[in-house]
């Protein structure tokens, strides 16, 4: 009897291992699989995401453990998990599907839903190469958030702003009217999102694109952008507590009409302001032309994007979740105030981002400049530089900031390319 049992067990083990061979790597049957999905969504969008995930669980039989990180902790948590080699099966890539997470994510080009991504999304997802690593449900469209009502009170027609000179003049009008033109969260985006207009694109003040990409950029051309910010600082275009104001301060000041612009931000900021004060009209306008004859720009990039861990034990289930989101993510996308990039996801065409895109149909939509032309890790460096600048915008400190940017760029470029 024992012999029979032993043979039966051995046969079962062999059959089991053969069944395992049928699955490529971690891809196997998905029913009953358990996967982890890391998200940084909060509030309404988190609720919407939970609903989509619950529906997926019902339909697929896959158990999804939604790990909810606070937005501020998300990047640190993911970096720690990359370092430890214990990544979630699916996670949100927040603009970094290629540069930061690419080596950990499974390519998605062969997924059926990938054909439905629009060209803008495909361009952002693949960059210079051919491989995409994430499902992109929305694109973020960044320009200048405007409290239109407050601008009108100051006699400023925001839609008449064509060039940076016009924007500077509008700021002076706003200061003269007793308001403060800008609020800012002092992120790296203050410097990076328009970096291309000053230093990179075809119609930029100086075209240093090649140098930026081959590691020889000296940041000399970046001086013009920082000088423009210094001009605004001298004018009083930022709040006296610009170095310490919190996100909440910024949103309230903008919503109350005490400030008119939020530089380099998207419709979600306007949505937050509208929740505080819905009496005002808000809009997103394009970054003005850097000079006469140049084009206006809007920075695009990964909006809501998710990828699957290529070494995950349940890769097939993770990919099934991506496919489900691609097809049934509409309700969720609806809550993101952003533009859907997947043709199968239908959202109403009434949101601010879409209005902005329609209004600025002639503007150039580009991927976020730092994601394309700067090595990974520079976002934090630019954030540091922005904070240094707001604390001291003297010529001497501007030189010090340029040197700081150059040193870090060299280090990070070398680190990034030594890994290749």
Which 379-408 positions form the footprint of other proteins (CB under 8 A)? 380-381, 383-384, 387-388, 390-392, 408
* Closer Cβ to other proteins, 239 or 324, answer by number: 239
Cα separations (Å) of 265 from 20, 43, 68, 320? 48, 20, 24, 33
Give the other-Cβ count within 10 Å of 192's Cβ: 25
Binding mask 221-240 for other proteins (x = CB under 8 A): ------------------xx
Instruction: State yes or no: residue 215 binds other proteins (CB under 8 A).
Output: no
Which 240-259 positions form the footprint of other proteins (CB under 8 A)? 240-241, 243-246, 249, 252-253
Among residues 220, 268, 140, the alpha carbon closest in space to that of 398 is found at: 220
Which 359-378 positions form the footprint of other proteins (CB under 8 A)? 376-377
Q: How many residues bind other proteins (CB under 8 A)?
A: 36
Provide the 3-class DSSP secondary structure of residue 368.
coil
Which 90-109 positions form the footprint of other proteins (CB under 8 A)? 100, 103
Q: How far apart are CA 254 and CA 261, in angstroms?
A: 7
Helix axes 395-418, 378-391, angle to 10 degrees: 170
Among 1, 21, 83, 361, binds other proteins (CB under 8 A): 83
Least Å from the CB of residue 388 to other proteins: 5
Give the other-Cβ count within 10 Å of 6's Cβ: 10
Q: How far apart are CA 102 and CA 118, in angstroms?
A: 20
* Closer Cβ to other proteins, 86 or 202, answer by number: 86
Q: For residue 130, count CB atoms less than 10 angstroms from its CB and return exposed for 0-12, middle for 13-18, buried for 19 or more.
A: exposed
* Closer Cβ to other proteins, 236 or 377, answer by number: 377
* Closer Cβ to other proteins, 94 or 100, answer by number: 100
Least Å from the CB of residue 262 to other proteins: 16
Among residues 193, 188, 192, 186, the alpha carbon closest in space to that of 246 is found at: 186
Task: Name the site residues for other proteins (rule: CB under 8 A).
Answer: 75-76, 78-80, 82-83, 100, 103, 239-241, 243-246, 249, 252-253, 376-377, 380-381, 383-384, 387-388, 390-392, 408, 411-412, 415, 418-419
């Amino acid at each position: 009897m024992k012999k029979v049992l032993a043979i039966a067990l051995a046969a079962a083990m062999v059959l089991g291992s053969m069944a395992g061979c049928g699955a490529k790597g971690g891809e196997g049957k998905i029913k009953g699989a358990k996967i982890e999905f890391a998200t940084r969504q909060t509030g309404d969008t988190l609720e919407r995401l939970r609903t989509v995930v619950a529906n997926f669980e019902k339909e697929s039989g896959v158990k999804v453990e939604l790990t909810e990180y606070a937005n501020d902790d998300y990047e640190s948590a993911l970096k720690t998990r990359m370092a430890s080699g214990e990544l979630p099966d699916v996670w949100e890539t927040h603009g970094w599907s290629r540069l930061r997470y690419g080596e950990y994510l499974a390519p998605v080009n062969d997924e059926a839903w990938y054909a439905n991504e629009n060209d803008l999304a495909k361009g952002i997802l693949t960059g210079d190469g051919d491989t995409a690593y994430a499902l992109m449900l929305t694109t973020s469209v960044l320009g200048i958030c405007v409290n239109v009502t407050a601008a009108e009170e100051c006699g400023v027609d925001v839609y008449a702003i064509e060039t940076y000179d016009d924007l500077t003049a509008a700021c002076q009008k706003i200061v003269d009217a007793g308001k403060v033109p800008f609020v800012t969260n002092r992120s790296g985006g203050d410097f990076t999102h328009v970096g291309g207009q000053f230093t990179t694109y075809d119609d930029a003040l100086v075209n240093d694109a090649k140098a930026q990409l081959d590691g020889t950029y000296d940041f000399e051309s970046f001086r013009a952008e920082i000088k423009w910010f210094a001009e605004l600082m001298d004018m009083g275009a930022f709040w006296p507590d610009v170095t310490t104001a919190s996100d909440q301060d910024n949103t309230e000041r903008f919503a109350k009409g005490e400030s008119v612009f939020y530089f380099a931000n998207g419709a979600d900021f306007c949505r937050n302001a509208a929740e505080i004060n819905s009496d005002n009209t808000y809009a997103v306008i394009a970054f003005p032309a850097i000079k006469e004859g140049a084009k206006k720009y809007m920075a695009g990039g990964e909006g809501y994007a998710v990828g699957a861990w290529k070494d995950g034990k349940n890769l097939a289930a993770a990919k099934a979740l991506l496919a489900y989101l691609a097809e049934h993510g509409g309700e969720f996308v609806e809550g993101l105030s952003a533009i859907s990039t997947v043709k199968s996801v239908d959202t109403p065409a009434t949101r601010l981002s879409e209005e902005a895109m329609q209004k600025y149909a002639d503007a150039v939509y580009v991927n976020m400049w730092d994601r394309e032309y700067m090595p990974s890790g520079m976002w934090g460096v630019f954030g540091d530089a922005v904070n240094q600048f707001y604390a001291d915008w003297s010529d001497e400190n501007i030189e010090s900031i340029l040197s700081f940017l150059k040193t870090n760029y060299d280090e990070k470029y070398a680190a990034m390319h030594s890994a290749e």
